[in-house]
Amino acid sequence: MKKTKIVATIGPATESKEVLEELIVAGVDVVRLNFSHGNYDQFSGLINNIKEIRSRLNKRVAIYQDLAGPKIRIGDFETETVELVPGEKITLTIRETPGTKSKVFINYPKLPSEVKVGDTIFLDDGKLDLKVVETNDVSVTCEIVSGGIIYGGRGVNLPNSELSIGCLTDKDRQDLEFGIQHDLDFVGLSFVRKPDDIEELRSILNDYDSKSKIIAKIETPQAVKNLDRIVEVADALMVARGDLAIEIPAEDVPIVQKRIIAKCKAQGKPVITATQMLESMIKSPVPTRAEVSDVANAIFDGTDAIMLSAETAIGQYPLEAVRIMSKVANKNEGAVVVQSHVSENQSTVTNSVTSSAIDTAEDLNAPLIIALTETGRTARMVARHHPHAPIMAIAEDETVCNQLTLTYGCFAYKVSDYQSLEDALKLVRKLAFDNQLAKAGDRVVIVAGAPFHTAGSTNMIIVETM
């Protein structure tokens, strides 16, 4: 049973209902809708199809809305491309004008006031490197350090600059309303810099009484600097290695990845490792050996989920990519070291109880851990230890069950109300037997809280012989 969750991005290669179903059967747990591309008619159709497929297959699949965020871009050139030559200069201007090899429009009005001489500016995902040599009220003049051919409309990264740009654009706010109307399980916030960015999104979700959980995408130096507080206020994190490797030195990314995952585990927050995991499978039916090792090492680091982006959105072999990822996860999860103590602060009752439950399950070689949970937190706090046994999470809320699909080793089941321990034990026995998660005579570990149906009351471990 695969415990590591697979997030797959849907695009032209996978948007048909038939391929969606094949992906889900192959092991996709969370479907990512990238709102940088597509329109509402397309997204409505995809959402309806996903909900119909998961209902018909009786397989829990979460839907994740990824907001585009504020992307700084250059304008178009007079010709399709221009060549920027090292040693020459180019001016980035906030005045709209057709671009040439010496001047091009940039869509961020505050750029001249927020960069300083000596700052680095990257164009086209880091392929071209500029250094700021002069600024005025309307433009920034740069020396070309690393040149090349560039098309108009390419992205701009400013790794040294403290930008005041917000995380939510007007388009993001409209997209968010669409997502709320369709009861999506997760919403991803791009280019997070500080905890306030997440709180702003949380406030909007609360205004609509939305249950969507926030995934904070870590892809800026400021986010790395503010990581502790971001982990505290977000519901989940993504190691967004694409932009992160442009904004910080690429050689620092593996260390930052391990740090992000460790911080998330300590807080019981799910974490996704993303970008270029099986990049060669966009065009090849088999991955490189390095890619297989990358996926496996993310699992060894303790990630909850691994993500496919272009591999499934536009790739030639989307189904094969999911199958390979599933195989790598299945093969390598057994080598993950179970840690009963992962928190930076073990002094809470929930931390203590869930840690003890892990020790008990490992000592008894229990085939199953059962978490009775109101909000999903009990299950996540158990799962952060990455136990060998799968976790059967029992909840009354459908959205909570869907959201636990992102959490390592968690398999959530919606139940009707139960009022007593005896009722709860009857429910879990039936579910465990029906889903072939345990058999008669097995000893399973149950984690719960009394009184029942009270968030944050985890205080009980039961060893039950089935």
Can you give the residue ranges of every domain in the chain?
5-69+168-331, 81-157, 349-465
> Bridge partners of 458?
449
| CA quadruple 179, 181, 186, 190: dihedral sign | positive
Among residues 32, 60, 213, 241, which one is catalytic?
32
Q: Given the residues 5, 101, 217, 241, select the one marked as catalytic.
A: 217
Which residues, at least 6 apart from 429, have a Cβ–Cβ distance to it below 8 Å? 464, 466
Could you report the per-residue pLDDT of 411-448, keeping only the tens digit for each? 999 998 777 888 888 889 999 999 999 999 999 999 98
The packing angle between helices 253-267 and 289-301, to 10°, is 30
Question: Using CA atoms, how far apart are residues 466 and 444, in angstroms rounded to an integer?
Answer: 7
Tell me the backbone φ, ψ of residue 134, rounded to 5 degrees.
-165, 145
Interatomic CA distance for residues 247 and 249, integer angstroms: 7
User: CA dist 63 to 29, 60, 180, 314, 384, Å?
Assistant: 9, 10, 12, 19, 22
- Of residues 351 and 87, which shows the higher confidence score? 87
Q: Give the residue with greater pLDDT, 162 vs 86.
A: 86
Q: Which two tokens stand for residue 84?
A: 């920027």
Mean pLDDT of 325-340: 88
- Contact (Cβ atoms closer than 8 angstroms) between residue 443 and residue 366: yes
pLDDT at 343: 60
Kindly state the percentage of the chain with pLDDT values over 70.
Answer: 97
How does pLDDT run across 34-69, given as a tens digit for each residue?
999 999 999 999 999 999 999 999 999 999 999 999
Show the tokens assigned to 342. 């992962």
**pLDDT band at 340, cuts 50/70/90?**
low
Average pLDDT, integer, range 450-466: 81
When pLDDT is cut at 50, 70 and 90, the band that residue 350 belongs to is confident
R_g (Cα) of the chain, nearest Å: 24
> From CA 200, how far away is CA 252, in angstroms rounded?
29
Tokens encoding 316: 């030639």
The CATH classification number of 349-465 equals 3.40.1380.20
pLDDT at 451: 74
Alpha-carbon distances of 69 from 37, 46, 166, 327, 430, rounded to whole Å: 12, 21, 9, 33, 45
Q: Which of 71, 73, 211, 443 is catalytic?
A: 73
Whether 372 and 378 have beta carbons less than 8 Å apart is answered as: yes
Whether residue 414 lies in the annotated active site: no
pTM, rounded to two decimals: 0.93
Residue environment code for 423-436, b if the CB has 16+ CB neighbours within 10 A, otherwise e: ebbebbbebbeeee
Q: Let me know: does 337 contact 6? Beta carbons within 8 Å.
A: no
The predicted-structure confidence for 220-254, as pLDDT tens digits, reads as follows 999 999 999 999 999 999 999 999 999 999 999 99
Length reported for the chain: 466
For the segment 185-228, what is each residue's pLDDT rounded down to a tens digit?
999 999 999 999 999 999 999 999 999 999 999 999 999 999 99
> What 8-state DSSP symbol labels residue 348?
S
pLDDT greater than 80 at residue 101 = yes
Q: What pLDDT shows up at residue 345?
A: 59
Across the chain, mean pLDDT equals 94
The answer for 29, left when phi > 0, alpha when psi is -120 to 50, beta otherwise, is alpha
Task: Look at residue 175 and tell me whether its pLDDT is greater than 70.
Answer: yes
Inter-residue contact 385 to 362 (CB < 8 Å): no
CATH 1.10.3720.10 assigned to 5-69+168-331: no
Whether 32 is catalytic is yes
Let me know if 73 is a catalytic residue. yes
Tokens of 332: 């390598």
b/e code 194-217 from CB counts within 10 Å (16+ = b): bbebbeebbebbeeeebbbbbbbb
- Tell which wins on pLDDT, 95 or 164: 95
Which of 275, 303, 378, 407 is flagged as catalytic? Answer: 275
CATH architecture, range 81-157: Beta Barrel (2.40)
Residue 289: pLDDT band (50, 70, 90) is: very high
Contacts of 12 (CB under 8 A, 6+ apart): 313, 314
Report whether pLDDT(344) > 60.
no
Q: Which residues does 424 contact at the CB level (< 8 Å), separation at least 6?
A: 372, 394, 418, 448, 452
- Look at residue 458 in the predicted model and tell me its pLDDT: 81
Q: Give the separation between CA 188 and CA 175, rounded to whole angstroms.
A: 11
The answer to whether 186 and 210 are in contact (CB under 8 A) is no
Q: Tell me, what DSSP letter sits at residue 77? A: B
Is residue 299's pLDDT more than 60? yes
* CA diameter of the chain: 77
Phi, psi torsion values for 396, nearest 5 degrees: -95, -15
